[in-house]
Chains A and B, each alone.
Chain A
Amino acid sequence: MSVELPKLGGKFIQMEDEIGSMASIIGASIGGLKSMTATSGPGISLMQENIGYAVITETPCLIVNVQRGGPSTGLPTMPSQGDILQARWGTHGDHPIITIYPHTVPEIFEETIRSVELSEKYRIPVILLLDEVIGHMREKIDIEKVDKNKSFKRKTPDVPNEWFFPYERNSSGVPAFADFGEGYRYHITGLVHDVDGFPTSKPDQIDAFMKRMFRKIDDNLDDILDWEEYELEDSEYMILAAGCVARSAKQAIRTLRDEHGIKIGLLRPKTIWPFISSVLIDKAQDKKKIFVPEMNMGQLLLPTQRFASSICDILPFNKINGEAIYPHELVSFIRRNI
């Protein structure tokens, strides 16, 4: 980005630490730019406080987290899916968030564009969660497929200054964003605030603000959620997996179907937060078992159990040794457990 951005008139800065990186992209977004940062491991922990700031101030921005193994310095840079729940709950306080989990390099390309759009549209930080396996991979992308003239613009206010409420409660749940310098002089704060942007401690105003923050996401799941179904049509068994594990799962499914006659398919959330709960409930109905392989001790397992444990059996497969999950491991695990 340090090479490409200046050529296009964009701005790049290497900040002193990840706390600063997160802060500066929020500042840039307030100034009207689409902004992003990227990190891994300890860096995402450092970003969490200011991710919460972006949530409460409803400032669009994109955070890429290429996960690495272990807490602390952990396993630089070996694969893990240890940050799935941190992406949801990493910053303190109750809050909504959007997290997108691509599984190939071309998909990273597409989903980065979609993530920025979602972020601008719903005024929320979006986390693009990647696996190291994909992060360090080279695959072809078809740039021609991208419509370069299509550029999502955030909704900005068109009312006179005196009528402007920076956090108004409108029907969409998403207030228009006034970029700094456009003549709307208003206040942005990480304190819970009322429609005018100023801090409040009045329960009815707090309630209205907090609920709107959730509602703007909950009311738009049709637009935000995305997932892939692979060989699910006639399947008796289902794998629920994300990122690089889903790639291994696809190959395992080929083997299990072609060589062992097992009817099995994959449900792969692309939007991982909010969770694809209604899709899961629907797909689980006619399944005998759901397998949840992941490179952690059961983070995707939790929402899967929450929504599907009353429908069918759910079986985790966990690997945390710094290696990817291989297709043959899934093949033998699934064969042993059906």
Chain B
Amino acid sequence: MEKNVVHKYLRKNKKFPHIWCPGCGHGVIMSSMLRAIDKQGLDRDDVAVVSGIGCSSRTPTYVDFNTIHTTHGRALAFATGLKLAKPDMTVIVVMGDGDAVGIGGNHFIHAARRNMDLKVIVYNNNIYGMTGGQASPTTPSGKKATTARYGNIERSFDICELAKATGAVYVARSTSYHVQALEKYIHRSLSKKGFTVVEAMTHCPTTYGRLNKIKEPVAGMIYQKDHFIMKAAWDKLPEEKREGKFPMGEFVDIEKTDFVSKYLRLIEANKE
């Protein structure tokens, strides 16, 4: 039974095959999300999945909830309005890295600062996948993109650090290789109230992979296995051994009153 839990939440009537390339990591994240939702026992009618634009943002098309595919970078702002209208709805926001912290960076920091009760999942493939591999704000320095053919000379964003600094109540990172951890973190985020961010590193064989010599999907997963290490182990690593490695795990888990709860109190106090 466990094996088919994902099928329960896929739109049966429609839209398969999906648009993702063979071997893309996005599907792994989507199914982790569905298992986490199932575990949380949410009623499908009370869940909204909102996305921006990009390969990752096609997720809502396939899942049987209240779904909105919005404009590039603006998913959090749409979700903010929806959450104000429907305070009891669980609003999950899925975005690509470019969507979340490139074009949508301003909405990201402000939704976090406000502590909007939105469950963010960033599919981070380190590149603009859908449009053919332009550098994104998370393309690591030195790595290649179609707009950084000689290696990226910019510094890259650490989405978890950004989320932490701007006030998210829960921040975690996993990868499309570390599926159980990913599911666990998404589940944890669903059970929390407030702005939560799960960064899901995903491999993109077609653009990032091809440009950076991790072309095969399996190579992409092995890369994740070798380069992402649990926070506790990372903390103990000497500086020189951290080169090329990245921490994963739960970085923030705190309690803070969210915006909508405060607003509902404000209404209560000022009602005529």
Contact = CB atoms under 8 A, between A and B. Distances in A.
A188 B84 contact: no
A199 B53 CA distance: 13
Contacts of A24: 77-78, 80-81, 84
Interface residues of A, number: 41
Given A180-B66, A198-B14, A198-B15, A17 B81 contact: no
Interface residues of B, number: 42
A85 to B, nearest CB: 23
B86 A20 contact: no
Interface stretch (A4-12, A224-232, A275-283, A329-337): A4-12
Q: Which of B14, B45, B263, B266 has the most CB of A within 10 A?
A: B45
B195 to A, nearest CB: 14
Interface in B8-29: 11, 13-15
A28 B71 contact: no
Contact of B74 (A29, A32, A50, A196): A50
Contacts of B84: 11, 13, 24, 27-28, 31, 33
A308 B19 CA distance: 50
Contacts of A29: 81, 85
Interface stretch (B33-41, B57-65, B152-160, B245-253): B57-65
Contacts of B83: 27, 31
Given A6-B270, A187-B67, A16 B82 contact: no
B240 interface: no
Given A31-B86, A198-B15, A188 B68 contact: yes
B63 to A, nearest CB: 9
A27 B71 contact: no
B70 A23 contact: yes
Most buried by B among A8, A19, A27: A27
B69 interface: yes
Given A28-B81, A186-B66, 12 more contacts: A7-B272, A8-B272, A16-B107, A26-B78, A27-B84, A31-B86, A32-B86, A33-B85, A49-B71, A181-B89, A187-B67, A187-B68
